Amino acid sequence: MPSNGQRGLRSNAWRIAGDLPASFRYAAQGLGYAFLTQRNFRIHVITGVVVFAMATWLQLDLAQMAVLALTVAAVLVLELLNTAIEAVVDLAIGRRYHPLARIAKDCAAAAVLVAAISSLLIALFLLLPPLMLRLGL
């Protein structure tokens, strides 16, 4: 049961956003919620910032930066979807255990893991060669 503060924030959350600015506000609230409450989302955001700082320092070209942007965005999007799926499953089943709920949550988490691993590999492929050159190795 939401607290009075939570209920007041979005008591009409079931309504469709009336205008474009409201849609952006709701999206920003989702990002804020994920950043404040989801440790893994924060880890992915910080990792993305570090990767872009390193890519900028190594002077990667625009195509390589675009690939990095897509891979970081994919991980963040999947982390947001994972959070949404977990919330919907929890809403649907409450505190009860259901094997299908476990499957839904585990598969959503696995999607994030697959994206994170592939993102790491892509970052290594793009960052390691110029880093080795910069370090003279």
Q: Per the residue annotation, which of 75, 76, 79, 112 is the catalytic one?
A: 79
With tokens 């009075």, the residue in question is 4
Residue 103 backbone dihedrals phi, psi, to 5 degrees? -60, -45
Query: How far separated are the first and last CA of the chain, in Å rounded?
Result: 58
CA geometry: angle 3, 30, 108, nearest 5 deg: 100
Reading the block at residue 128, the tokens are: 């390691």
Q: Is 86 a catalytic residue?
A: no
Catalytically annotated residues: 79
